[in-house]
Amino acid sequence: MCLAVPGRVLDIGEKDGTRMATVDFGGVQKEVCLEYLPDLRVGEYAIVHVGFALQRLDEESARQTLALFEELGMLQEEFGDPWEQAALQAGADSPWPFADGPYAGEAAARQAATPEEAQEGRQ
């Protein structure tokens, strides 16, 4: 939730006296408030957090960051169905959304840590 996500401005309008835009985040579109970045223009990229554009970003960085966040599952988290995710979490330890991480192989072999293992890890 704390991470802002880069998006591209598609169009700009006004709502309740507030400058608003439609912003595209790698395919998902959201209404975004431009009051904190009033001179942002159509076609430009910005980092957007909880519906507010907070800082301009160049296109190349925006694309790279979007790709990373997608890989980390953060886009799913930001724009997916939170009830579904919470239910999944509440009902099952696995699958975790990104259980295909670099440790997935080890994960299969080693389920949850036992207290002994946790103890071993102490330094």
Partner 1 sequence: MKYIEEFQDPALARRLLDDIHATVTRPWALMEVCGGQTHSIIRHGIDQLLPEQVELIHGPGCPVCVTPLEVIDKALEIASRPDVVFCSFGDMLRVPGTGRDLFQVRSEGGDVRVVYSPLDALRIAQENPGRQVVFFGIGFETTAPPNAMTVHQAKKLGIRNFSLLVSHVRVPPAIEAIMRSPSCRVQGFLAAGHVCSVMGVGEYPELAARHRVPIVVTGFEPLDILEGVRRAVRQLERGEHTVDNAYARAVRPEGNPAALAMLEDVFEVTDRAWRGIGVIPDSGWRLSARYRDFDAEHRFSVSGINTQEPAECRSGEVLQGLLKPHQCEAFGTLCTPRSPLGATMVSSEGACAAYYLYRRLELKTVPAAATTPPQEASTVV
At a CB cut-off of 8 Å and minimum separation 6, what does 78 contact?
1, 3, 5, 25, 69
**Rounded Cα–Cα distance for residues 16 and 27 (Å):** 27
Of residues 3, 10, 29, 41, which one binds partner 1 by CB under 8 A?
3
Site string for partner 1, 35-74 (x = CB under 8 A): xxxx--------x-xxxx-xx-xx--x--xx-xxx-xxxx
Judge contact between 6 and 66, C-beta under 8 A: yes
Nearest to 1 by CA among 37, 51, 62: 51
85 binds partner 1 (CB under 8 A): yes
DSSP, collapsed to helix, strand or coil, labels residue 16 as coil
Token pair recorded at residue 107: 């994960």
According to DSSP, residue 95 is labeled S
9 binds partner 1 (CB under 8 A): no
Residues in contact with partner 1, counted by CB under 8 A, come to a total of: 66
Of residues 14, 27, 43, 123, which one binds partner 1 by CB under 8 A?
123
Chain positions contacting partner 1, by CB under 8 A: 1-4, 16-18, 30-31, 33, 35-38, 47, 49-52, 54-55, 57-58, 61, 64-65, 67-69, 71-74, 77-79, 82-83, 85-87, 89-93, 96, 98-99, 101-104, 106-107, 110, 112-115, 117-118, 120-123
